[in-house]
Amino acid sequence: MPLVSSTTMLQAARAGGYCISAFNVHTLEMLQAVVEAAEEQQSPLIIQSTMGRESDGLTITSISEREEVENMNVNDESSRQPGNEELRIGIVGCGVRASIAIFPALRNAPVDLVAVCDLDLSKAQYNARKYGARRYYQDAIEMMEKEDLQAILVIGPAKVHYQVAKEALQRGLHVWMEKPPGETREQAFELVRLAEKHRRQIQVGFMMRFATANQMAKEISQRPEFGGVKALYFRYMANPYPDHPAFYLYHCIHGFDLARHFMGEPDKVFAREATAAPGQFHQQASLSFVNGSIATLDMSCLQEWTSPNVRLEVTGVGKHVIVENSAEITYYRNAPIRPSHARDQAHFVEAVARLDDSQDALTWQPNQNWATLYSYRGYEDELNAFASAILSGNEASANIEDGYIAMKLLAAVEQSAQTGKEVSFADFEVGDR
């Protein structure tokens, strides 16, 4: 019975519509029994045991203690399903956000998780065991030098995103990084130049672009019937942030990117801000775009996480689409007025209670029974998009150029809020392009 990765097994099971048995084994006799049964039934098998536990002669040691793991068939290309090419990745950062949002979202992505890294070695060890990485490290540079990787994923503070991306690009690796792409627009611009120099791609973690309902809204807004995007309203609320820079870098940046994603090239920016207490801010920005459209961004950290906190409204000509809480979308299509008693028959249609298939509103809500088929928050689809783009040689979505533009918008909004004056987006360019 050959050894293959759990990712390969689960992908095949999903495609074939069958289940895979998983057994906890604690003795050699149990191990022999389940393997023989699986061979007899020609069935795949997942064997589980407690790391580092010794029982009745069966010992499973930790990854770092067992050098033989490096030569297991799980790392053998011949053991993989044909046509299932995977991107060999290493992940830097095993903290809370990475562990609850990014690692689980990789479950259906075409990736081979080779190694993970964290300054806290115990976190790296835990995530390696839980998510199937073959090795773990405490030093990112060591991991990049020792492992045969194609790409690095980095999740941490803005400073770490910038530093790790630079090191990865210089070693010929592609990069997926959480937002923001650095602490300043200057750092983001440097990464733009480095990616061009080394001919590698960087994708920034603007997951709101990839949320299922937001993807639907984007597609609707591009239909000829919509008449082009004329206005956008975005509301994004949260509870307090540690300080003002964190509020802008980790919260407001989503609004800056999403507005530009729907509207195009920014032109003018006017913003104002209210401070209730340290770490508690409310920011409103009015943006105009080169194509004549406008956007209003309403973002705050005065509320708390348990309430619905996101609303996107995109307006065309006689039509608009609303996304509530990144999950439910309604498309309003200029439906006819239906009065109970039409007094002016020249202006009102007949008073008949019926739906108009071509004009009445359309609403979509997620089916939680099939949650894994969608990317409600956007993490799954953004990681799939990155891996697929690198493997196919296509350009990644939400690339470092998009990240740089979002950082320029951040700087423009911040300056306008501080001065109380409208600013020109073009004034925030870092260098000659």
Which residue has tokens 């104002």? 272
Residues 28, 53: contact at Cβ < 8 Å?
Answer: no
Which residue has tokens 């490290």? 137
Residue 203 and residue 392: Cα distance in Å, rounded? 15
Residues 326, 211: contact at Cβ < 8 Å?
Answer: yes
Q: Which of 186, 171, 210 has its CA nearest to residue 381?
A: 210
Q: Kindly report the three-state secondary structure assignment for every residue of 137-178.
A: ECCHHHHHHHCCCCEEEECCCHHHHHHHHHHHHHCCCEEEEE
Q: Record the tokens describing residue 419, joined without a space.
A: 């001065």
CATH code of the domain occupying 209-376:
3.30.360.10
Q: How many alpha carbons fall within 13 Å on the CB side of residue 219?
A: 8
Q: What are phi and psi for residue 356, nearest 5 degrees? A: -100, 110
Q: How many alpha carbons fall within 13 Å on the CB side of residue 375?
A: 25
Residues 350, 257: contact at Cβ < 8 Å?
Answer: no
Query: CB count, 10 Å around CB of 32?
Result: 11
Between CA 289 and CA 179, with CA 417 as vertex, the angle to 5 degrees is 70
Residues 350, 337: contact at Cβ < 8 Å?
Answer: no
- Enumerate helices (H) and strands (E) in the chain, giving the number of each: 13, 19
Tell me what pLDDT residue 209 has: 95
Rounded to whole angstroms, what are the CA distances from 146 to 142, 174, 182, 365?
6, 16, 26, 46
Contacts 24+ apart (CB under 8 A), 12-15: 12/44, 12/81, 13/44, 14/108
Tell me what pLDDT residue 195 has: 97
pLDDT tens readout for residues 21-58: 887 776 766 777 777 777 777 788 887 764 443 333 33
Q: Record the tokens describing residue 7, joined without a space.
A: 């990712």
DSSP 251: I
Q: Which helix (H) or strand (E) holds 55?
A: strand 54-55
Q: DSSP letters along 385-419, please?
A: HHHHHHHHTPPPSSBHHHHHHHHHHHHHHHHHHHH
Q: Walk along the chain (433 residues) in steps of 10 and give the mean pLDDT of each run.
A: 64 70 74 76 74 36 35 37 76 95 93 97 95 96 97 97 97 97 97 97 96 96 96 93 91 96 97 88 95 96 81 96 94 78 54 75 83 79 96 94 97 96 95 64
Helix (H, G, I), strand (E, B) or coil at 254: helix
Residues with Cβ within 8 Å of 329's Cβ and at least 6 positions away in sequence, in order, are 213, 216, 217, 321, 322, 323, 363, 364
Residue 98 and residue 101: Cα distance in Å, rounded? 6
Q: In the chain, what are the domain boundaries?
A: 1-60, 209-376
Tell me what pLDDT residue 338 has: 63
Q: What are phi and psi for residue 175, nearest 5 degrees? A: -135, 130
Tell me what pLDDT residue 337 has: 72
Backbone Cα Rg of the chain: 25
Tell me what pLDDT residue 306 has: 77
Q: DSSP letters along 285-325, please?
A: EEEEETTS-EEEEEEESSS-TTS--EEEEEE-SS-EEEEET
Q: Record the tokens describing residue 70, joined without a space.
A: 């490096």
Which residue has tokens 């209003």? 296
Q: Record the tokens describing residue 89, joined without a space.
A: 């990745």
Name 137's bridge partners: 117
